[in-house]
Structure 1
Amino acid sequence: MGPTRKRDLTVAALGAAVLGYLLVVALYQWFPPITVWTGSSLFAVGVAEAVWGRHVRAKISDGEIGDGPGWLHPLSVAQSMFIAKASAWVGALALGWWVGVLVYLLPRRSWLRVAGQDTAGATVAAVSALALVVAALWLQHCCKSPGDPTENGEGAEG
């Protein structure tokens, strides 16, 4: 399992943005209010992944990977890579959705009161989704073994 390609995440985010925009155009009147807390869980997961990535990187740098006291088990690194890949995809799709929502809201916020109220929440959600993508890519980078030839996912097939 190699690192996630950034171009694949970009294509997914763009597709989600287009689909999100079309759904918002059709269904916005039935949306619940979008608060600044709406997407904040994505940010919390991103912070947790970034902190875990720093821990994994330190363990790999110190050669503390294995089955010993205080060492990080190799399966934990593999599981971290799996979680990072999944998080990168979830973050990219969520980012696309929130960008689609923002493309709908921004031009309407001056004359549609509820659009103006929802803009801040959608912006926080989009930034949180971007933070999750960045943290997930960072965690993937941290899970690499020191001699791994695939840099930035460009040579990977995943």
Structure 2
Amino acid sequence: MKPTRVWDLLALFLIAGVASWILVRVLYGQLPPIPIYAGASLYPIAGIELIAALMIRARINDHRIGDGPRQLHPITAARAVALAKASALVGAASAGVWLGFLLWVFPQRSNLRAAVSDSPGAIVGLVAGVLLVAAALWLEHCCKTPDDPPDEPAH
């Protein structure tokens, strides 16, 4: 499986940001208020992926891969990679949506009281999306197989 390409994540981030900016520009008056915790649901997922990455990395570095107890089953590593790839896409899209929202809301802060109260929730969401992308890319990186040591020449 190929590693997640950063350019793909950036493209998704930008597309989501532009689409969100257009929608917010047109529909802002019809949107409900954005609470501070609106985008916070991604923080626990990023934390879980960070912990999983550390555990997987430790087991791979200790060569504890296999079917036994306290070993990392190869299927588990493959599932972690799939989770990381999906999470990176979700995080990039989410961060793009929140950035598009902020790009419209921030200039309106002097004119609209609602824009002032919506900004913190959007910032929390933007940071959560970025952290999820970072945790997902780290998890994917930690699931790589270690390089084989060079063959020793025969004496």
* Per-residue deviation, residues 86-112 of structure 1 (Å, max 9, x unmatched): 000000000110000000010001210
After TM superposition, the structure 1 = structure 2 runs for residues 133-152 of structure 1, keeping only pairs within 5 Å, are 133-147=133-147
**2-side partners of 1:19 and 1:38: how far apart?**
19
**2-side partners of 1:18 and 1:79: how far apart?**
32
Aligned to 1:118: 118
Aligned to 1:4: 4
Secondary structure of 2:68's aligned partner: coil
After TM superposition, the structure 1 = structure 2 runs for residues 9-158 of structure 1, keeping only pairs within 5 Å, are 9-147=9-147
Runs of 4+ in 1 over 3 A off after TM superposition: none
Secondary structure of 1:18's aligned partner: helix
Shift of 1:37: 0.6
Shift of 1:81: 0.1
Which amino acid is 2:48 matched to? A
**1-side partners of 2:15 and 2:71: how far apart?**
41
Shift of 1:61: 0.4
The structure whose Rg is larger is 2
Secondary structure of 2:118's aligned partner: helix
**1-side partners of 2:64 and 2:96: how far apart?**
38
Give the TM-score normalised by the residue count of structure 2.
0.93
Aligned to 1:155: none
Which amino acid is 2:34 matched to? I
Output the aligned Cα RMSD: 1.0
Which amino acid is 2:115 matched to? A
Task: Give the number of equivalent residue pairs.
Answer: 148
Shift of 1:147: 2.2
Unaligned runs of 5+ in 1: 149-158
* Per-residue deviation, residues 68-89 of structure 1 (Å, max 9, x unmatched): 0111111000000000000000
Shift of 1:52: 0.6
Deviates more, 1:21-30 or 1:85-94: 21-30
Give the TM-score normalised by the residue count of structure 1.
0.91
**What is the percentage of aligned positions where both structures have the same residue?**
47
